[in-house]
């Protein structure tokens, strides 16, 4: 059956979050922990971050650092550090990732488009506002992954709203363990955009293997035949 609806991830899919926002946001979070007793330097925090986020979330990283190198006072600051990371200060205008603007304009009149993103709702919607793209999308879903919510529930809501079958939905994003896994589990079509931090080898586990795989966003339309 034909694709009628597309669900886009936000961070490191439409917005170069790892390049534009993560360095400053992570420093801010680490600074909060250090001010509350964390005993390692900013540079060492960053070194451990780059290694740890291959397998765990930033929220879990901050907790792990506080447990390993902090005090009871440090542990009380983990929530503040986490919020500082996921709700960073933003410039008045954010640029779309290379290729995104062209794709949005190319597809906006041919498909029903949604954003399905993970994080704190206020922070994610603020990013979308600064990108100035909300009017191009039929709906925006913010999944609170910090509370273990999953994108599959948002994808199911889209199926209901559009009255379509899973095979009519195309989901694109850069996280094999989030939108790719959830799209596969639902029976939707998945497209993995290999971009951002901790991109690595696609696992052999079929749950995480995308239907399509691109390394540049400009390859999306042709690769997915839309």
Q: How far is 79 from 76, CA to CA, in rounded Å?
A: 7
Q: Kindly report, residue by residue over 93-130, the tens digit of the pLDDT.
A: 999 999 999 999 999 999 999 999 999 999 999 999 99
Find the helix packing angle between 42-52 and 22-35, rounded to 10°: 120
* Residue range 156-175: mean pLDDT, rounded: 97
**Residue 7 pLDDT grade (very low, low, confident, very high; cuts 50, 70, 90):** very high
> What pLDDT, on a 0 to 100 scale, did the predictor assign at position 173?
96
Model pLDDT for residues 206-226, shown as the tens digit of each residue: 898 999 999 999 999 999 999
pLDDT number for residue 215: 94
**Cα gap 50→19, rounded to integer Å:** 13
Query: Where does 5-16+93-224 sit in CATH, by number?
Result: 3.40.50.1000
pLDDT tens digits along 78-95: 999 999 999 998 999 999
The full set of domain ranges for the chain reads: 5-16+93-224, 22-86
Identify the burial level of 67 via C-beta atoms within 10 angstroms of its C-beta, where 0-12 means exposed, 13-18 middle and 19 or more buried.
exposed
Residue 53: the pLDDT is: 84
Question: Model confidence at 200, in pLDDT bands (50, 70, 90)?
Answer: low
Q: Give pTM, 2 decimals.
A: 0.90
State residue 82's pLDDT score. Answer: 94
Tokens 């991830």 sit on residue: 9
pLDDT value at 67 more than 70? yes
23-32 pLDDT, tens digit per residue, is 999 999 999 9
């Amino acid at each position: 059956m034909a694709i009628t609806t597309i669900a886009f991830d936000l961070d490191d899919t439409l917005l170069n979050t790892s390049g534009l926002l993560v360095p400053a946001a992570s420093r801010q979070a680490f600074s909060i922990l250090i001010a509350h007793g964390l005993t390692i330097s900013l540079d060492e925090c960053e070194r451990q971050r780059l290694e740890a986020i291959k397998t765990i979330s930033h929220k879990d990283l901050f907790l792990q650092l506080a447990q390993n190198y902090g005090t009871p006072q440090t542990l009380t600051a983990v929530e503040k550090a986490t919020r500082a990371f996921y709700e960073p200060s933003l410039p008045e205008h954010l640029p779309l990732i290379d290729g995104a603007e062209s794709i949005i304009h190319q597809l906006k009149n041919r498909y029903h488009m949604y954003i399905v993103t993970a994080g704190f709702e206020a922070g994610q919607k603020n990013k979308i506002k600064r990108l100035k793209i909300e009017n191009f999308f039929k709906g925006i879903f913010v999944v609170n992954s910090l509370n273990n919510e999953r994108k599959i529930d948002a994808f199911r809501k889209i199926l209901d709203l559009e009255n379509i079958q899973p095979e009519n939905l195309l989901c694109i994003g850069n996280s094999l363990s989030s939108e790719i896994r959830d799209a596969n589990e639902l029976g939707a079509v998945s497209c993995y955009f290999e971009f951002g931090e901790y991109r690595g080898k696609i696992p052999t586990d079929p749950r995480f293997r995308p239907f399509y795989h691109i390394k540049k966003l400009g390859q999306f339309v042709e690769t997915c035949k839309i």
